[in-house]
Structure 1
Amino acid sequence: MSLHPQVKSLLTMFEARNLPPIEEQPLQAARSGFTLMTQKLNTKEDIYKVEDRVIKGFKNDIKLRIYTPSEPKHLPALVYFHGGGWVVGNLDTHDALCRSLANEAGSIVVSVDYSLSPEEKFPVALEDSYVATKWVADHADEVGIDRQFIAVGGDSAGGNLAAVVCYLADIRKGPSISYQFLFYPSTGYAKTDSYEKYGENYNLNKSTMRWFQEQYLNSVDDMMNPLAAPMLIPDHETKKLPPAYILTAEYDPLCDGGENYATKLKNAGVDTTYVCSSGMIHGFLCMTNPLDDAKKAIKDVAQHLREQYIKRVERSQV
């Protein structure tokens, strides 16, 4: 499919702003600008309850935002890691997305404000994400979560963290993760066809991706670490990972990486659903005001989560 007309209009609007790329802005300005942009591109839904908490992280305190769509009695849970190249992004940039996911799925969503780079480099963000996931599992009864179904999810860099948290949970023998939802995830650092084809002028550029990697990783050696690049998780470990729903965007430099990871999981025998959103660009789930397909994709993800939870409950009752 060709680039969606709504995406074309949005890219034209981005171009007209004539802002320097993220990597050429002062760090705090880049973070503030990313927050303002996402808030303009989305409308927050009302939800039954939103609660902020602070827990002890790997090195620093971690803020959690808990979205509860209804009376919290044994609801499934999604622990969510925001995108932003491990450098920008926060609870507010993905507030609208988490509200929508919680409402549509009838699931508690716990958004994690993990430590950002370059202040804290790899693996601090990953360890924070693991700590937060373990906290949710340990406090499931308190929060109103059905511990039979605790999933992890994230977009872009957050999808990277979600994928690797699943690997860490297996290595460390817990917590139990029922499902992984990866939205246009960063799965490795090898150059792909989509990276070369869509690495300029489609919202996420090669120069920005290189800059994100430089901020997050300590050295090029980290690129070969499966805790930074889930495509490198050994095959004998891959087969132990939880079922997955992987969503990519057709005009995204990360598209092939997400598809390749879905293939890796399938080849290892992991139940995997792969969806590529035609005509869309990187980050489109956080662009619901201008993009109708973003709203539809969120509904589809939420429906899949509901269905998987129902199946899990039914299996437990047999």
Structure 2
Amino acid sequence: MAINKFMKLALKALSYPDIDIRKTYQLQRSLQNLAAPKVSPHKQDWQDHIVVSEGRKILTRIYFPLQQKAEGTLLFFHGGGWVTENIDTYHKVCTALAQATRHRVVSVDYRLAPESPFPNGLEDCYAVAQRLFLTPKSFGFAPGKITLVGDSAGGNLAAAVSLKARDEGIFSVERQILIYPATYYDHSDASPFPSVKENGSDYLLTSRRICEYIDLYKRNDDDLVDPYFSPLMAEDLSHQPDTLLITAEFDPLRDEGEAYALKLQEAGNHVILYRMKDALHGFMSLGIGYVHVRRAHDLINTFLNRSEQHESVKPLA
């Protein structure tokens, strides 16, 4: 559905709350938890699983496609600016993803900033990935092909896990799906990306809010140029997974995501880039009643089913 002038006015009005997330993130978490769907105790299609790493317990939730044999496993990292959201607030997203793709989805409840700043959340995601790749039987199933998936801050974490996996050499990631990922550190007026200015004030997620999330996530300014914090800063992007990268037309993060796709391709990786027309940041949380979600599921299925064929970055629609 196209964004008409009346919708633009409504979005603009909603994009100017006088709230600093750095001061109100705990309240934001509480409101999100209240709005989260009530998870049924009759767990026919999901189960919780604990991964223990270096003495800490990392909660994961495994979703199963109902009445279908799982064709593989998606390791999912949720969005929320590294500060908000959790596996409960993403329950519907992961349930829908499992049913639409006929894959198991393993969602990770990683530690959040500012209580646990960079790289703590990344370490949780990497620890779960390492366990899933190296000892899949510990999850109680044979995972088949494993694909990393993340949206927004979760897309940032998926990209960082792939980089870290290459650098550490302990396991190899073959595929990743990055949905409107954060890949760069500067979302101020000095940003080199036009989408920060074009989409940074009138489309719900503002550039100011992204800057606040970055401030909460980082330990200090040195983190900003760390490739695991800002994947676009990586000097070497060779030997990265086959990648599907989906951006949203009216998203401040659009251009940095597309720049990351192009840089991956230039480094010799196989990449499919798709800009979702008329979409806002965060559209995956809207539910399958929305055309953008259904289209994203179709793109993901096409990518997952292309086992041997490769496709390079396509011209943007």
Instruction: Provide TM-score, normalisation by structure 2.
Output: 0.85
1:150 corresponds to which letter in structure 2?
I
What's the counterpart of residue 216 of structure 1?
217
Does structure 2 retain, via aligned residues, the 8 Å contact 1:79–1:153?
yes
C-alpha distance in structure 2 between counterparts of 1:26 and 1:82, whole Å? 20
What's the counterpart of residue 92 of structure 2?
96
Identity across aligned pairs (percent)?
Answer: 31
2:200 corresponds to which letter in structure 1?
G
Deviation of residue 219 (structure 1)? 1.1
C-alpha distance in structure 2 between counterparts of 1:276 and 1:14, whole Å? 22
What's the counterpart of residue 247 of structure 1?
246
What's the counterpart of residue 315 of structure 1?
none
Deviation of residue 73 (structure 1)? 6.7
Which structure's relative contact order is higher, taking Cα pairs within 8 Å and 6+ residues apart?
1
Is structure 2 residue 144 aligned with structure 1 residue 143?
Answer: no
CA RMSD between the two structures: 3.0
Does structure 1 retain, via aligned residues, the 8 Å contact 2:180–2:257?
yes
C-alpha distance in structure 1 between counterparts of 2:60 and 2:8, whole Å? 31
Deviation of residue 289 (structure 1)? 6.4
C-alpha distance in structure 2 between counterparts of 1:68 and 1:11, whole Å? 40
Is structure 2 residue 165 aligned with structure 1 residue 152?
Answer: no
C-alpha distance in structure 2 between counterparts of 1:79 and 1:11, whole Å? 37
What's the counterpart of residue 29 of structure 2?
31
**Runs ≥4 residues deviating over 6 A:** 71-74
SS of 2:72's partner is strand
C-alpha distance in structure 1 between counterparts of 2:34 and 2:247, whole Å? 24
SS of 1:33's partner is helix
2:265 corresponds to which letter in structure 1?
K
Does structure 2 retain, via aligned residues, the 8 Å contact 1:101–1:302?
no
Does structure 2 retain, via aligned residues, the 8 Å contact 1:59–1:124?
no
Stretches of structure 1 that go unaligned for 5 or more consecutive residues are 313-318
Change (3 A) 1:20 1:143: farther
Larger fraction in helix: 1
Deviation of residue 94 (structure 1)? 1.4
What's the counterpart of residue 123 of structure 1?
119
Deviation of residue 176 (structure 1)? 2.1
SS of 1:26's partner is helix
SS of 1:83's partner is coil
Does structure 2 retain, via aligned residues, the 8 Å contact 1:3–1:251?
no
SS of 2:61's partner is strand
Is structure 2 residue 168 aligned with structure 1 residue 172?
Answer: yes
Does structure 2 retain, via aligned residues, the 8 Å contact 1:73–1:145?
no
C-alpha distance in structure 1 between counterparts of 2:70 and 2:101, whole Å? 14
C-alpha distance in structure 1 between counterparts of 2:47 and 2:37, whole Å? 19
Deviation of residue 269 (structure 1)? 1.2
SS of 1:218's partner is coil
Cα distance per residue 1:63-109 (max 9 Å; x no partner): 10001115797741111000000000100121111111111111111
* Correspondence 1:187-202 to 2 at 5 A: 187-190=183-186, 191=191, 192-202=193-203
SS of 2:115's partner is coil
C-alpha distance in structure 2 between counterparts of 1:278 and 1:51, whole Å? 35
What's the counterpart of residue 227 of structure 1?
228
Stretches of structure 2 that go unaligned for 5 or more consecutive residues are 310-317
Does structure 1 retain, via aligned residues, the 8 Å contact 2:15–2:205?
no
Deviation of residue 14 (structure 1)? 9.1
Cα distance per residue 1:91-147 (max 9 Å; x no partner): 012111111111111111100000000000111011111001112123323532344
What's the counterpart of residue 314 of structure 2?
none
Change (3 A) 1:37 1:256: farther
Instruction: Provide TM-score, normalisation by structure 1.
Output: 0.85
C-alpha distance in structure 2 between counterparts of 1:135 and 1:71, whole Å? 27
Does structure 2 retain, via aligned residues, the 8 Å contact 1:77–1:145?
no
